[in-house]
Amino acid sequence: MGKYILKRMLLMVPTLFGAAVLIFFLLRLVPGDVCEVRLAGAGLYADPEAIAICRENLGLNKPLMAQFFDFVWGYFIFDLGVSMWTGASVVHEIEIRFQLSLQVAIMATFVATVISIPLGIISAVNQNTWLDYCVRGFAIAGIAIPSFWLGLIIILGLLIITQAITGSPWMPPIDYKPIWEDPVYNLSQLIWPAVATGYRYSAVAVRMTRSAMLEVLREDYVRTARAKGMIEKVVINRHALKNALLPVVTILALEFAFLMGGLVVTEQVFNLNGLGKLFVDAVGNQDFNLTQNLVMLVVLIFVLTNLVTDVAYAWLDPRIRYS
Amino acid sequence: MVTPSEIQVEAEFEEVAAKKPWGQVCKDLMRKQPLGTFGLAIVLVMIVTAIFADYIAPHDPIQEDFSAMFAEPGHESYPLGTDEFGRDILSRLVHGSRTALMVGFICAIVGATLGMVIGVASAFFGGLFDLLLQRVLDVFMAFPLIILALAVVATLGPGIQNVMIAIIIPFVPQCARVVRSNALAIREIPYVDAARALGFSNSRIILRHMVPNVMAPYLIMLTTFLGQAILLEASLSFLGLGVQDPIPAWGLMLTNASEFFEGSPWLAIYPGVAISLSVFGFNLFGDAVRDTLDPKLRSR
Amino acid sequence: MSKYARFALALAVGAGLSLASTGPADAETPKRGGVLNFVVGSKIPSYDGHIEGTFGMIHPIRPFYSSLIRINPQNPQSSTDFHCDLCVGEVPKGEEGGTLFKFKIRDDVKFHDGTPLTAADIKATLDKIVFPPKGVPSARKAFFKAVESIEAPSPTDLVIKLKFATGSFIPALAMPFNFVYSKKDLDEHGYSWHRTNINGSGAFKFKEHVKGSHVSGVRYEDYHFKGQPYLDGFKAISAPKLAVRVQAIRGDRAAIEFRGFPPKQRDDLVKALGDDITVQESDWNCVLMATPNQERANFQDPRVRQALTLAIDRWGGSQHLSRIAIVKTVGGVVFPNHPLAATKAELVALNGYGTDLKASRAKAKELLAAAGKSGMEFEFNNRGVDQPYKVVGTWLIGQWRQVGLKVKQRVQPSPPFYATLRKKKDFDVSIDFNCQSIINPIADISKFLGSAGNNYGNYLDQELEDLYNTLLQTGDEKKQREIIRVFEKRALSDQAHAAITLWWYKINPHRSYVKGWKIAPSHYLNQHLDQVWIDK
C-alpha cells in the first residue's frame, strides 16, 4: 500500500510541473501586459518611460526562462512573490478568497449530497417508473440550466417577492463577512449560490447513486436478504446503500475540488469575492504572477483530491494496486 | 491481396463489433428510453430550426428597429418582443440555434475524435509513447474545465473560433483517457494479436479493428460534450469572451440581457430557456446513448 | 457661478421621475452620522494616485486624501471654479504674466498619523509628480511640462514658477489624482510606499481594504474643514457586474454608484422604488470615437473616412442610443457645454453632423463608390467593456451597415486592446476614447494630433499640428475659438481622422437619503465625500 501511494505521489510531480509550464507560457502569449493596463486605465496618455519603469520593477523584461525559473524556484523557497496588480503578496491575495470559496464549496457539496442521495435511491428503487423519469429529468435539468442564469433569476425573484411582502426590496449581501463574525449575514449571502451550484452538481451524483444502487441491488447478498423476507427499507439502508456509496462519495469529492476554483461565472452574478472571480480578474489584468500561483493552487487541490480518492479505492480494492 | 485468414479475422471482428443491428438499437431506445426519445425530439426540433432558420424567422436577426426598442412580448410584429436595439427576439433565437448547434457539434465531434485518435494510438503503441502521452494528458486533466477554457480564450482573444478552440482543448484529454482504457482491453483480445502476426499495417489494425471497438465510449463522450459545449460557450459569453455582437447567439443574448434584467426580464428568460432546453435535450439523449451502449448497463 | 458654468443638474427625463432639487437640499442642515455604502465597478490597482488613472482607485481612495486645490464641491459643473483645499483664501491668480503662483498654506492640517502638514509636504508631493527621480513613474508628468520650479520658503508658503504662461496649469493642479503625501513618509519609506499604504489628510481615515471586496473608511475627527465630514464612515464595495450594482441599489445594499448608469436602468430603478430614488444627470467629459487605421490601404483615402462618419446618425442616436448606453450629447472635439465648443449651427456644417440623414448616407455611398470601396468589409476593434464601449460598437456596426459596409466586431479585454492600439497596430477601425477629469479643452484636443502619445490613427497631419501650435500661443478666447473651429473641421470633417460618436452622459440614480453630493461632469471629480451626508 505504501509503495502504491508513493508511486501515485511521484506521478504528481510531472503533472504539476507540466501545469506550471502550460499556464506560464499560455499567459505570456497574450499581447500587452499589466503595466499598460495600469498606467492607461482611463485612456490617459501613458508615459512610455513610466511603462518601462513598471516593467523593470516587475521583472517583465527579463528573459522568459529566467522568469520561469523565478516562478518555479519560488515554490522551493516558499516565496510566491507579489501580485503584479496590487503589489500585495500572492499568499495574502489568495487567503482572503480561499475562505469564501471553501465555505461555498462545502455548502454546495452539502446541498448536492442532500439532493442526490435520496433522489438517486428513489430513482433506482423505482427504476423505469414515472417517478424514476421525473427524478432523472429534475437532475438533468440541473446540469442544463446555466447556474449564472439561475442566479440572476434567484436575485430578481428575491427583490420582487420581498418588495411585494414587506414593501422594501431585499437582496443578499454583496460583501463577505466570515461566518464566526456574523453568521446571519454570512449565510444570507452564501446560501443562494450554494443552492444554485449545489443543484447543478447534484445531477451527476444522482446518476451515480442510481446506477451504483442498481448494481448493488442485483448482488447476491441483497437478493438473499430479500429472499429472507427482510423489509425493503432495511435492505436498502443496511445493505445496498452502504456498498453503493463509495463511487458516489468519489464523485462528490471530485466535484468539491472543482467547486474550489471553478465557480468562475456564478461568483460574478452573486458578487462573491472567491477564487473564481480572482482568477477572472487576474487574467483580465494580466497579473501573471497571481494567475500562475492561483492556477497552481487549483490544480494542486484537484490532483490531491484525485490522489485521495484513488488511494481510498486502492485500499478497498487490492486489485487496483497491482495493475 | 486478401488472404483467407484475413477475411476470417475480420469476420470475427464484425461479430464482436456489431452485436446488434442498429435498427434494433433505435427501437430499444424508444421503448426503453422514453426520456432519451424526448431528448432526441428536442434535438431534432433544434436541428430543423437551425436548417430552416431563414424561413422560420419573421425578421432579419440583426436588423435594428429603434422605434420598437424593448418591445414587450405580444407586440404585433415582434411576438416575443425586441431587445435593446429593437431587434426581434424570436428571429435572434431561431438564428441563435445555428450558433449553438455549430458550437455544440463542432466542439463535440472535433474534441471527441481527436481524443479517440490519441487514446487509441496511446493504447496501441504503448510503452514510452503511452507513458509520456499519459503524463501530458494528466496535465490537461488537472485543470478544471472552465479554468482551462478561460485561460485559452484569454490567450487567443474572444470570438467564436477561439471559443471553440478553447472548448475543444479540455475535451480532448477527457475523451482520450476513456477511449484509451477501452482500447487497452481490446488490444489484449487475441484477434488483434492475430492481425499483427499476419503483418497487417498499424494503420489498418487501428482503423479496422480498434477504432470500431471503441465507438461506444466515443459516442458516449461525444453526446456528453454536446451539451457541455453549449453551456461553456454561454459561460464564456457571460464573461464577455464569447461570440460578439451582432451575431445572434443565445449566450450573447443572455449576457446582454443580464444588464437589462431588472426592467425587462423576458430578454434574459427566452435565451436562458433556449440554452437550458437544448442542453437538457442533449443530455437526456446522451444518457440514453450511454445506457444503451454501455455494456455494463445494457442488460438491464 | 462662473460664466463658464452651466448647470446640467437635475434635468427632467421621462415622466414620473423624482429629481434632486438642489435648492431645498442646499438649505437643509446636514445631519451627522451614518455610513455611506457605494458600489464601484472597477478595481484598485494601487493606492498611489500619482501613478494610477482609474476611477476604481479614485472612488474608494480619494476620500483619504486632500489636494492643494480642487473643484468647488458646491459647483462641480464649472470647469473654472476652483477652491482651495489645503491653501488659504482664493486660488491665486498668476503673477508676472501668469508664470508665478504663490499659495498660502493652511497651518491647521494634520495627516492621519498626527504629523502636521506644511508647504514642504506639498512641495515633496508635487516634486514626485512633476520631477520624478529616475525610476519613479508619474502618470501625469506631461500635464506639468510648463513647471520650472516648486519652492517652499516657509511652512505656509508655496511658490510655483512656470517656464511660460498656460491656462492649463491650474486645471492640471486641481486634478483629483494629486494626493498630497507627507514628506516624512516619502523620505522614510521611499516613493513606492504609497502604493500599498495610506496616510493622508482627507476627511476619512483608512480602516480596511479587503482585497476584491471592499474598502472602508472612518471619519477623521481632526479634518481641517471643521464640522466635516458628516458621515461616520463609508464603505466602497467592489461589484464588477452592472446588473449587481443596479440590484444593490434596488435592494439597498448600496446607496449610490458614482460612475453612471444607462437610462434604462435609471428608469427601472425609479419604477421600482419611486421617491426613494433621486436622479442626478450631467454631460460627461468623455467621448468615444471610431478611429480608422491610416496605415491600412483601405483607410488612406479621406473619402472612405468621410463615408464612415457620414453614415452615423448622431442626432437619431442621441434619441435612441441614449436610452441604452451612457452617451447622449452630439458634439465636436470640445466638451459640449464649454464656450469653446461648437454650436449646433456650426456642427451641422460638418460631415456626418447634418440633419438630413438620407442625404448624408447617399453621399457616403457615393464617396465609397468613387473610392472603389462600395460594400467594403472590415473589422471593428472594440474594448471588452459593456458600457458604453460594446453598446456603441454594436450601434456603429448597424449604422455602417446602412451604407453597405460589412463590419465584424473584434472585442478584446483591456490589455490586448491597448496592445493592438499602441504596439501591434493590427486593426482596421478601432474604438478610441478621450476621457479626462478636469475640463481643459486646449489640452484635451491634442488627442487629434498625429504626434500625440494617445493618438492611434497612425497619421501625421502637419496642418493640424501648425494650427495647434498657433492655438497654444493665442491668449484671446475668441481667437482660440476660431482656431478650434478650423481645427475641428479639418480633423473631423475634411480629413475625418476620427468619427466622434456621442459625448457620454452621466446618470447617477441614488437612494434619496444621500444628500450633499453633487454630480460633476467627470466620474473622477468631487469624490472627496466630505460634504456628503445621510438623511435617514
| Å between B261 CA and nearest CA of chain C | 7
Q: Indicate the residue of C55, C140, C415 with minimum beta-carbon distance to A36.
A: C415
CB contact B275 to A (< 8 Å): yes
Q: How far is CA A171 from CA A143, A190, A200, in A?
A: 25, 12, 22
Per the structure, how many domains does chain B have?
1
Render pLDDT for C147-205 as a digit per residue (tens, 0 to 9): 999 999 999 999 999 988 887 889 889 999 999 999 999 999 998 899 889 999 999 99
C139/A50 CB distance under 8 A = yes
Question: Could you tell me which residues are beta bridge partners of residue C506?
Answer: C282
What is the torsional sign of CA C355, C358, C361, C365?
negative
- The DSSP H or E segment spanning A86 is none
B245/C393 CB distance under 8 A = yes
A207/B287 CB distance under 8 A = yes
Is the separation of the CB atoms in C284 and C508 below 8 Å?
A: no
Render pLDDT for A57-73 as a digit per residue (tens, 0 to 9): 888 888 888 888 888 88
B241/C319 CB distance under 8 A = no
Q: For residues C36 and C534, give the distance between their C-alpha atoms in angstroms, rounded to a whole number.
A: 7
Residues 385-414 of C with CB under 8 A from A: 413-414
Q: For residues C532 and B43, give the distance between their C-alpha atoms in angstroms, rounded to a whole number.
A: 57
| Å between A66 CA and nearest CA of chain C | 22
| Å between B81 CA and nearest CA of chain C | 16
What angle (nearest 5°) sits at the alpha carbon of residue C22, between those of residues C19 and C23? 125
pLDDT in tens, chain B (300 residues): 334 444 444 444 444 444 566 677 667 667 777 888 888 899 999 999 999 989 988 888 888 888 888 888 888 888 888 988 889 999 999 999 999 999 999 999 999 999 999 998 888 888 898 889 988 988 998 888 888 888 888 888 888 888 999 999 999 999 998 888 888 877 777 777 787 778 788 778 877 778 888 888 888 889 889 999 999 999 988 888 888 888 899 989 998 888 888 788 888 899 999 999 999 999 888 888 877 776 554 433
| Å between C265 CA and nearest CA of chain B | 7
- The DSSP H or E segment spanning C197 is none
A43/C434 CB distance under 8 A = yes
Is the separation of the CB atoms in A117 and A124 below 8 Å?
A: no
Q: Could you say which residues of chain C have pLDDT below 70?
A: 1-27
CATH superfamily of C284-505: Dipeptide-binding Protein; Domain 3 (3.10.105.10)
Q: For residues C226 and C246, give the distance between their C-alpha atoms in angstroms, rounded to a whole number.
A: 35
What angle (nearest 5°) sits at the alpha carbon of residue A195, between those of residues A272 and B33? 130
Report yes or no on B211 lying in a domain: yes
Burial A17-54 (b: 16+ CB within 10 A, else e): ebbbebbbebbbebbbbbbbbbbbbbbbbbbeebbebb
- The DSSP H or E segment spanning A309 is helix A288-316
pLDDT at B296: 52
Is the separation of the CB atoms in C170 and C91 below 8 Å?
A: yes
Report yes or no on B225 lying in a domain: yes
pLDDT at A263: 85
| DSSP notation for A18-53 | HHHHHHHHHHHTSSS-HHHHHHTTTSPPPPHHHHHH
Nearby residues of A157 by Cβ (< 8 Å), 6 or more positions away:
none
Does the predicted TM-score (pTM) go above 0.80? yes
Residues 207-246 of A with CB under 8 A from B: 207, 211, 214-215
Q: Which residue from B minimizes the CA distance to A268?
A: B239
C324/B261 CB distance under 8 A = no
Residues in C touching B240 (Cβ below 8 Å)? 384, 386, 390, 411, 413
pLDDT at B2: 39
Is the separation of the CB atoms in C265 and C280 below 8 Å?
A: no
Phi, psi of B106 (to 5 degrees): -60, -45
Q: C-alpha cell of B202?
A: 498499424
C324/B84 CB distance under 8 A = yes
Residues in B touching C414 (Cβ below 8 Å)? none
CB contact B70 to C (< 8 Å): yes
pLDDT at C484: 94
Report yes or no on B25 lying in a domain: no
Where does chain C hold its CATH 3.10.105.10 domain(s)?
Answer: 284-505
How does strand C377-383 pair with strand C406-412?
parallel
Q: Indicate the residue of C250, C387, C401 with minimum beta-carbon distance to B262.
A: C250
CB contact C239 to A (< 8 Å): yes
What angle (nearest 5°) sits at the alpha carbon of residue C195, between those of residues C194 and C199? 30
Average pLDDT score over chain A: 83
Q: Which of B63, B88, B262 is the best residue to mutate to test the C interface, defined by the most C CB atoms within 10 Å of its own CB?
A: B262
C319/B66 CB distance under 8 A = yes
CB contact B295 to A (< 8 Å): no
Phi, psi of B292 (to 5 degrees): -75, -40
CB contact B168 to C (< 8 Å): no
Residues in B touching A27 (Cβ below 8 Å)? 151, 154-155
List the CATH number of the domain containing B99: 1.10.3720.10
| Å between C257 CA and nearest CA of chain B | 15
CB contact B76 to C (< 8 Å): no
Residues in A touching C436 (Cβ below 8 Å)? 44
pLDDT at A47: 66
Residues in A touching B32 (Cβ below 8 Å)? 128
Range of the domain at B106: 82-299
* The CATH number of the domain covering residues in A90-316: 1.10.3720.10
CB contact C137 to A (< 8 Å): yes
CA-closest candidate to residue C171, choices C437, C433, C434: C437
Render pLDDT for A121-136 as a digit per residue (tens, 0 to 9): 898 888 888 898 899 8
CB contact A275 to B (< 8 Å): no
CA-closest candidate to residue A136, choices A208, A206, A241, A211: A206
Residues in A touching C41 (Cβ below 8 Å)? none
Q: For residues C241 and C261, give the distance between their C-alpha atoms in angstroms, rounded to a whole number.
A: 12
At residue A15, does pLDDT exceed 80? Answer: yes
What is the torsional sign of CA C385, C388, C390, C393?
negative
Residues in C touching A91 (Cβ below 8 Å)? none
- Chains A–B, number of C-beta pairs less than 8 Å apart: 126
C272/A41 CB distance under 8 A = no
Q: Indicate the residue of A26, A156, A265 with minimum beta-carbon distance to B152.
A: A26
Q: Which residue from C minimizes the CA distance to B262?
A: C268
How does strand C100-104 pair with strand C82-84?
unpaired
The CATH class given to the C31-255+513-534 domain equals: alpha beta
Render pLDDT for A45-101 as a digit per residue (tens, 0 to 9): 566 777 788 888 888 888 888 888 888 888 888 888 888 887 788 898 898 889 899
pLDDT at C10: 32
Could you write out the three-class secondary structure of A112-146?
HHHHHHHHHHHHHHCCCCHHHHHHHHHHHHHHHCC
What is the widest separation between alpha-carbon atoms in chain C? 72
Residues in B touching A291 (Cβ below 8 Å)? 151
pLDDT at B279: 93
B126: left (phi over 0), alpha (psi -120 to 50) or beta: left
* Beta strand extents in C239-326 (DSSP E only): 256-257, 277-292
C241/A156 CB distance under 8 A = no
ipTM: 0.84
Q: Indicate the residue of B66, B159, B262 with minimum beta-carbon distance to C247.
A: B262
3-state secondary structure of C407: strand
- For chain A, domain boundaries: 2-76, 90-316
B245/C397 CB distance under 8 A = yes
Residues in C touching B85 (Cβ below 8 Å)? 324, 394-395, 398
CA-closest candidate to residue B118, choices B160, B172, B42, B53: B172
Phi, psi of B60 (to 5 degrees): -70, 125
B70/C264 CB distance under 8 A = yes
Residues in B touching C316 (Cβ below 8 Å)? 66
At residue A223, does pLDDT exceed 80? Answer: no
CA-closest candidate to residue B114, choices B70, B172, B191, B28: B172
A300: left (phi over 0), alpha (psi -120 to 50) or beta: alpha
CB contact B288 to C (< 8 Å): no
Q: Which residue from C minimizes the CA distance to B160?
A: C410
B159/C410 CB distance under 8 A = yes
Give residue C99's identity as a one-letter amino acid code.
Answer: T
